[in-house]
Amino acid sequence: RKIRKIGARDAGFPPGPPTLPIVGNLYMFPKEFAHYKFTEWARQYGGIYSLKLGPGTAIVLTDAAAVKELMDKRSATTSDRPPMHIGALVTGGLHLVLARYGDTWRTLRRTAHAILTPQATSRHLPIQLAEATQLLHDILRTPQGFYTHVQRYSSSVIFSVLYGKRAPRYETPETTAFFQVEHEWELLMEPGATPPVDMIPLLKLVPERWSKWKRDSRRVRALQRALYFGLLDETAERVRKGEHNGSYMEEVLARQEEFGMNREMTGYLAGVLIEAASETTSSYLNSLILALVAYPDAQKKAHEEIDRVVGQHRMPTLDDLGRLPYVQAIILETHRFRPVLPLLVPHATIAVEEYQGYIIPEGATIFINAWGIFHDPALFDSPEDFIPDRYLLTENGTKPGVDGSHLRSTLAFGAGRRFCSGGHLAQNAIKINAMNLLWAFDFNPAVDSNGRPIKVDTFAYSKGATMGPSPFKCNITPRSKEKAEIIEREFLEAADTFSKFEFGLNPEDQEFVTKSRAQDH
């Protein structure tokens, strides 16, 4: 009887789709883009429902009030992560984002905080601004390469902050290596993409030659370690030679003991921060560009506003944003329309909780279905469309007359004690680049050989835990000759800020840097 009970939903648990003995709902668990199926189930079973994953239980929250109560207010018991055998195999349990709620996580998070508080973040503004200027310059020169220009931007900022070493090109070896391994890692970590080894531990015993996930895990681990520890050793070597440049890893290496860190933790902390910062920020910005191409009316309104407030003769600054309500609305609408992590990152409970009469067992996985909340037709008018104007009508973009007070504008950055550590850095990146891109460029569909516009597909997204648009084509042109000249000029002026971060460049990078500056003279 006990065995037959495995996979069955206990009395008192939130409702959910029908289960089968032993496997529960595993037989129907989506293998990719899980947020779509999760949202379909939410419309059927409600804002809080449960899935039986073999003997384990997952709770899916598609309700802002439940997120506020369970994840924000009761975060003392809902801030663990579910055991992720594959993640632990790849990173040795030292992955800050995936680490269980315990001392290792606390130490890593505390150490990361040193560079990510609002105050510390303001110290990174000069390099963020300089890199954002290069992004405009790169797009001006080779607009068709915008997608990787954006990726270069986001990785170069975090490389500079962490190791004091920037990436002038997408082809800079560390950047290319990072995005390649990150893609494989993302595929491995997507919910449902690999056999459920956490729920059915016997699967761990399948020999490596029959389990692709084992081979992939080994490969990703080797590639990540080569990159992360290579960069760390390079920093240590530089310090040994007395060539300090004030980077964060220099500080962690010097104060390792005080932080409670060792070499393994330090290498992974920095590597995980590259992961957490690069793919997310670049996916967001590429989604923004995709939305601007697909929704020309919204783009036009933003252009009108930015021309009125910032004008033709200077680039925008962070201080302008307060006077750009439509651009602010575009920023919020992009998070809603295409949240970078549609299911955020799963949490887990360390004690039983009770909510609205339902039991949430200890050790349950909790998925926050941000996609389902943001695309709920009961909350939002035409949720499938990109309509920034909704955020001018009500604070949280909900339709008039609906109570949207449980939502918060930062939902896309997570909840409770696991809330995104890099929120301030990310918000600055988004604000600066959203304003810059809108000020500088017109984004239009690419045209085919007959001159007909090619419609972009706003649903063409790559698989993986992070939701980034698949590479797409569009036509990007500067909005005026004067703006193009300002970008050229500002790019030259950024050279000063860059110089501190440009050491040990390989010959190709060095040539690129020299040429790109010389051409502007």
| Min dist. Cβ of residue 159 to ligand HEM (A) | 11
| Min dist. Cβ of residue 497 to ligand HEM (A) | 19
Please identify which residue in 413, 443, 472, 491 interacts with ligand HEM, judged by CB under 6 A.
413
Please identify which residue in 418, 436, 461, 494 interacts with ligand HEM, judged by CB under 6 A.
418
Please report whether residue 315 would count as binding ligand HEM according to CB under 6 A. Answer: no
Structure tokens that stand for 238 in this block: 């530089």
Report d(CA 471, CA 151) in Å as an integer.
11
Please report whether residue 414 would count as binding ligand HEM according to CB under 6 A. Answer: yes
- What is the residue-wise DSSP string for 210-274? G-HHHHHHHHHHHHHHHHHHHHHHHHHHHHHTT-----HHHHHHHTHHHHT--HHHHHHHHHHHH
Alpha helix positions (H), 28-84: 34-45, 64-66
Residue nearest to ligand HEM (CB): 422
Please report whether residue 412 would count as binding ligand HEM according to CB under 6 A. Answer: yes
Please identify which residue in 58, 59, 84, 96 interacts with ligand HEM, judged by CB under 6 A.
96
H or E segment to which residue 178 belongs: helix 173-189
On the CB side of 33, how many CA atoms lie within 13 Å of its CA? 11
Burial class (CB in 10 A: 0-12, 13-18, 19+), 139: buried
Instruction: Tell which positions 277-296 bind ligand HEM, by CB under 6 A.
Output: 277, 280-281, 284
CB 366 within 8 A of CB 191: no
Choices 38-46, 185-193, 275-283, 374-382 (CB under 6 A): range interacting with ligand HEM: 275-283
Please report whether residue 330 would count as binding ligand HEM according to CB under 6 A. Answer: no
Please report whether residue 149 would count as binding ligand HEM according to CB under 6 A. Answer: no
CB 417 within 8 A of CB 269: no
Dihedral angle of Cα 382, 459, 181, 273, to the nearest 10 degrees: -10
420 labeled binding residue = yes
Please identify which residue in 372, 383, 422, 469 interacts with ligand HEM, judged by CB under 6 A.
422
Burial class (CB in 10 A: 0-12, 13-18, 19+), 171: middle
Please identify which residue in 26, 61, 167, 273 interacts with ligand HEM, judged by CB under 6 A.
273
Report d(CA 171, CA 277) in Å as an integer.
19
Please report whether residue 86 would count as binding ligand HEM according to CB under 6 A. Answer: no
Please report whether residue 59 would count as binding ligand HEM according to CB under 6 A. Answer: no
| Min dist. Cβ of residue 346 to ligand HEM (A) | 8
Would you tell me how many other CB atoms lie within 10 Å of the CB of residue 447? 12
Please report whether residue 101 would count as binding ligand HEM according to CB under 6 A. Answer: no
Q: Which residue positions form the known binding site for heme? A: 420
Residues forming contacts to ligand HEM in the complex (CB under 6 A) are: 96-97, 109, 112, 116, 158, 273, 276-277, 280-281, 284, 340-341, 344-345, 347, 412-415, 418-422, 425-426
